[in-house]
Amino acid sequence: MKRLRGWPFALGVAGGVAAAWLWKRRQQRLALADRAGHIADRAMQALEPAVRSRMLAGDGVRLHAVEAGPEDGPLALLLHGFPDCWYGWARQIPALVQMGYRVVALDQRGYNLSDKPGEVADYGLDHLTADVLAVLRDLGRQKAVIVGHDWGGIVAWRLAMDYPEVVDRLVILNAPHPRAMAREMRKGWMQRLRSTYALFFQIPWLPEALLTVSPRATARAFFQKLGTSDAFAAEDLEVLAAAMAQPGAMSAALNWYRAAVRFPPARRTADIQRPTLLVWGTADPALGIELTEGVGAWVPGMWLRYFPGMGHWVHWEAAAGVNEQIAAFLAADWQEEPGAGGA
């Protein structure tokens, strides 16, 4: 009995220590979120040529964006993935500007400084493509080169299927074509195992609670461990962590996964008739190379470029090579495809 009497005290002490630790972590997260503007300004100042921040109209939401390049240049619209933000394109913005493009890198809905609707339904894929259409209208443009990575690539695939008239050319980086993803999920356990994290994200509140305990640790986990090199410097991770620390940002980002299950697109999957470049880091631990097989049957105007040994963040890990492939694709007569190959 004497031993049992000590347990309540021990549990109370442990609970107090845990509560103090969580409170400290919360204060650190709030402080990081408060400094996000300063951190982002410093990151923008470091980019050459100069970039500027602005808000754009989405589909009933306001979306933050960073833009660069000549106002009258052809438009390149960059769509990031999870758990990224506009800064995920820091290695591509200067290269595209050098090619003569007006570059707009969005914080997609729910991310960083963009609006964060409260319902899961607000993050359905049809809303995400509607955001792109609204942004084009706000920019006074009828079409753009659409560049997407990860979830941004999924939005880009869908946009090219449903609204091909607004897509000049399509660049996809490590984002599965929906038919390829469905095939691999049916075919066997390999991609299912790789995608188990998406099942965890379906659980209410717990994933965001864990991922926001320390945004810096979360940034290191996603941006360093899903890659194969030290492509992200400490200052890069600080920008990305500050974006994740924004109030409500992680819940909103996870709602993309939840909405994908509950609110599928209204239209059927269709072939894509726009010229397309698919870039793939072959060592992506979340998305197997099998997802690139057979995609040309659904995307006749496609170039496929592999980056052997590169991970999920191929546009960081092999930035120079990826930029070269994008430049060659944008400069080429797309009807003269050199075919699939490696880089």
Catalytic residue numbers?
Answer: 150, 257, 312
What helix, strand, coil percent values describe the chain, rounded to 5? 50, 15, 35
Handedness of CA 284, 290, 291, 297 (dihedral sign): positive
- Residue 138 near residue 83, CB atoms below 8 Å: no
Handedness of CA 260, 340, 79, 315 (dihedral sign): positive
Chain centroid to CA 128: 12
Handedness of CA 140, 142, 147, 149 (dihedral sign): positive
Distance CA 127, CA 155 (A): 10
Which among 44, 46, 75, 259 has a CA at the least distance from the CA of 151? 259
Strands (E), 43-141: 51-57, 62-68, 75-79, 102-106
